[in-house]
Structure 1
Amino acid sequence: MLTNYLGIVSLTENDSKLKSLTATRPLGSIPIFGRYRAIDFVLSNLVNAGVTNVGILAPTKSRSLIDHVGTGKPWDLNRKVDGLYIFNYSYDPPSISDIKLLKSNMEFLLRSKKEMVIFTSSHMICNIDFEEVAKYHEESNADITVVYKKVTNEDDLFLDAPTLILDQDSKVVGVGKNIGRRTLVNISLDMFLLSKEFLIECILGCLENGNCGSFRDFVYKNVQNMNVNAYEFKGYVGCINSISSYFKVSMDMLNVDIQSELFSKERPIYTKSNDSPPTRYFSTCEVENSFISNGCLIEGKVKNSIISRGVVIEKDAVVENSIIFPKCIIKSGAVLKNVILDKNVVIDSNATLIGHNKNPLVMEKHSEVDLSVLKEVKRV
């Protein structure tokens, strides 16, 4: 167990291609698979490895994040010693880099008795054994170990993600960007293992040089000056950096094999509990290959979709290849295909919303589709 490790989760991630879902929440708060949030995976990975002290570097718009993680109880991080800390969770100030956040909260690092650090983000969805990564890092005697995965560019899931150039000894000698030209690339998962002492040196070096906006950028720009090793992760990884990739990752979870790997009994994924009654399925409903959370009322047809808590799907409504966030209402006769509905969206009777399977139609939070204004919306 990694009792000597401190976890740092940086949510100052690039969400420029996710604005319709991150307008009121950080990327880490985006709902995943009906009842989870993106940050649940990395927090669970940390605590499953024995990490008991976690700091979250949060941007603005973090009300939903604070509401979800709370004191850290679902992850056993509500402790008198160590536990969970959240930094910069106000709404009004502009977003700042994780380097400045760390510098402003240097006391968090200095007071911690942990000597090692796992520095990660929330946009890479996987179930990883950090104990194995830590063992590899400590045996390599590297300054930093970064986790990566060999992927193909068949579905464009990892576009714009950083790529690692490795030598024969798995040492990082360069860092590029995935623009989709190569069929096989080493995608960085933005997970770093290093000593706390070296992290502090990196923070001060970045501030001194003034040419890096984040810890990740500092590492990638200075791989030639540091001993940076790479650890290959061979399990499933879903990258959330755009609406299309979020949609693809969510649909992947309906695959039984991927679902079994991500939600492993040996390394469970924890989340905030929400006491809801069981979903009620009416005699008129049809459900096929879908995940439906508690507290829903299902009268219509649901196929290849993910339905969050408290959703109402009325009689003769059709929901196919779609993701429905909590407390949405889809009225009788409405048809949704390749659609993402954010929270509290109301779809009027007989309305039709159709997106593309690689470019889903997104209805933002609290919006309403009324037939008096709109009869049909299609994206093909």
Structure 2
Amino acid sequence: MFIDAMGLILGDNKKITLGELSKPRALSAIPFGGRYRIIDYMLSNMVNSGIKNIGIHTYTKYKSLMDHLGTGSSWDLDRKNSGGLHILPPYVNSEATSVQGDEEMAGLLDFVRSSNASYVIMAASNVILNTTFTEFVEDFKACGADISVMYNRDGTKFGGPNYILDVDRRGWVKDMLFNPEKSSFTKSSMGIICMRRELLIDLIAEMMARGTNHVGIHSFVKKYDTLRVHAYEYKGLVLRINNVQSYFNSSMMLLNNQIRAELFWNGIPIFTKVKDEAPTLYSDDCKVTDAIVSDGCRISGNVTESILFRGVAVSKNCTIKNCVIMQDVHISDNCYLENVILDKNSVVRPGVKLVGHKDYPVVIGKGAIV
């Protein structure tokens, strides 16, 4: 399987914030699914499509992202000669006091120019799915479009930001609405587009010349009035991380066997950074039901309908219900947690009770002591 295309993933989104979860890291570096980061899914989709030259464009808080991606070896992207994984932070010199728009876009333009691929697949980082882009690219070639955009029909259930497409019978985009209160259209853009590499170079250069200070997927889709923009429907499972509520709800959806099977067990692997740890230790008096538990955990309490990342410690007489507990969190004795998101390296002191609502979970930031 090989696509004559380069990949470009936007590692952050200025319109999306997840509060304490996105405060210390880029959106794409937020942990999701027990052992993964959000970027693992889109990066794996591109690798599984045969794309071997992939850039990650980011402009702030990219330390966690760089630590996770490393050389790209976990995705077979540590290439000696050509291609590979490229982190694209903004160009900033010693005289700059902040990241300006032209500095943000200069590195992106240089990366696109350096490739010899015919096409570019450009994707946002807040969409979680498991697929390959072979059919998407073939549809783009067949329809004669300048730009193709992927959409599905259930994006509004994850909340905003949401871009709704008005598409005619032949699949051409006629209009695009941002977070409409009422709309008869159901086609929600997934933030994944395909175009010829030369066209992307021209569009970025034009944006820089006009003083545009940010690159976004939908700034290209908005060109429907001057370019031929075609819509491609994706009918598989799509999860979107648009806010804390959608992050929590999407995480809880993984406890459903059918959803988990479609995301992880459809024959297409999702790759992530390899960490070798001991199996989880379950004490004789613990009780774990309907939970995803990663390796390296130590469980002595009760865990129900929750997701535990690596190295989590649940002490005696604790109850964990409907929670997302990230890496290396320590929960002391006699605690009760329900509808809570605990970021990594947090500590919950003995006897603490935290109860949120399923639509408004309690979020504890990275390294906090509660």
* Structure 1 residue 185 displacement after superposition: 1.8
Superposition deviation, residue 223 in structure 1: 1.2
What is the aligned partner in structure 2 of residue 376 from structure 1? Answer: none
Q: CA deviation at 1:206?
A: 1.6
Amino acid aligned to 1:132: E
- Match of residue 124 from structure 1: 127
Which aligned pairs between 1:282-321 and structure 2 lie closer than 5 A?
282-321=283-322
Q: What is the number of equivalent residue pairs in this alignment? A: 366
5 Å matches for 1:213-232? 213-232=214-233
Residue identity matched to 1:210: G
Does the CA contact (< 8 Å) of 2:192 and 2:217 recur in 1? no
Q: Does the alignment pair 1:345 with 2:343?
A: no
Structure 1 residues 180 and 317 mapped into 2: Cα distance closer, same or farther (>3 Å)? farther
Question: 8 Å contact 2:105–2:215 — kept in the other structure?
Answer: no
Match of 2:112 in 1: 109
Judged with a 3 Å threshold, the aligned counterparts in structure 2 of structure 1 residues 90 and 335 are, in CA distance, closer, same or farther, namely: farther
In structure 1, C-alpha distance between the alignment counterparts of 2:144 and 2:103, rounded to whole Å: 28
**1:62/1:89 contact within 8 Å kept:** no
Q: Distance in 1 between matches of 2:155 and 2:327?
A: 34
Whether contact under 8 Å (2:223, 2:229) holds in the other structure is no
1:32/1:352 Cα in 2 relative to 1: closer, same or farther (>3 Å)?
same
Measure the CA separation in 2 of the matches of 1:317 and 1:217. 46
Q: Distance in 2 between matches of 1:286 and 1:183?
A: 47
The residue type equivalent to 1:7 in the other structure is G
Q: Give the TM-score normalised by structure 2.
A: 0.94
Partners of 1:151 and 1:184 within 8 A in 2: no
Number of the residue aligned with 2:5: 5
Q: Please give the residue correspondences for 1:353-364 in structure 2 after superposition, counting only pairs within 5 Å.
A: 353-364=354-365
Correspondence for 2:148: 145
* Structure 1 counterpart of 2:317, one-letter code: D
State the alpha-carbon separation in 2 of the partners of residues 15 and 272 from structure 1.
27
Percent sequence identity is 34
Q: Shift of the alpha carbon at 1:313?
A: 0.2
Deviates more, 1:32-41 or 1:86-95: 86-95
Shift, 1:161, TM fit: 1.1
Please give the secondary structure, in 2, of the residue aligned with 1:6. strand
The 5 A counterparts of 1:147-226 are 147-151=150-154, 153=156, 156-179=157-180, 181-182=182-183, 185-211=186-212, 213-226=214-227
Contact 1:118–1:194 (CA<8 Å) still a contact in 2?
A: yes
Q: Which residue of 1 aligns with 2:41?
A: 41
Q: Residues 280 and 294 of structure 2 are in contact (CA less than 8 Å); yes or no, is this contact kept in structure 1? A: yes
TM-score under structure 1 normalisation? 0.91
User: Structure 1: 5+ residue runs without aligned partners?
Assistant: 370-380
In the alignment, what sits opposite 1:271? 272
> Per-residue displacement from partner, 1:15-49 (whole Å, max 9, x unpaired)?
55312111111000100111000000000000100
Distance 1:190 1:215, change over 3 A: same
**2: CA distance, partners of 1:22 / 1:95:** 19
Comparing 204-213 with 64-73, greater Cα deviation is found at 204-213
SS state at 2:174 partner = strand
Question: 1:152–1:201: structure 2 CA closer, same or farther, 3 Å change rule?
Answer: closer
Name the aligned partner's letter for residue 141 of structure 1: G
Note the aligned Cα RMSD (angstroms).
Answer: 2.0
Q: Is the 8 A contact 2:318 2:336 kept in 1?
A: yes
1:180–1:258 CA distance, 2 compared to 1 (3 A): farther
Task: Give the residue type in structure 2 aligned to 1:169.
Answer: R
CA distance in 1, matches of 2:97, 2:46: 29
Is contact 2:165–2:173 with CA below 8 Å preserved after alignment?
Answer: yes
Q: Structure 2 stretches of 5 or more lacking a match?
A: none
> 1:160 Cα deviation (Å)?
2.3
Q: Which amino acid aligns with 1:48?
A: N
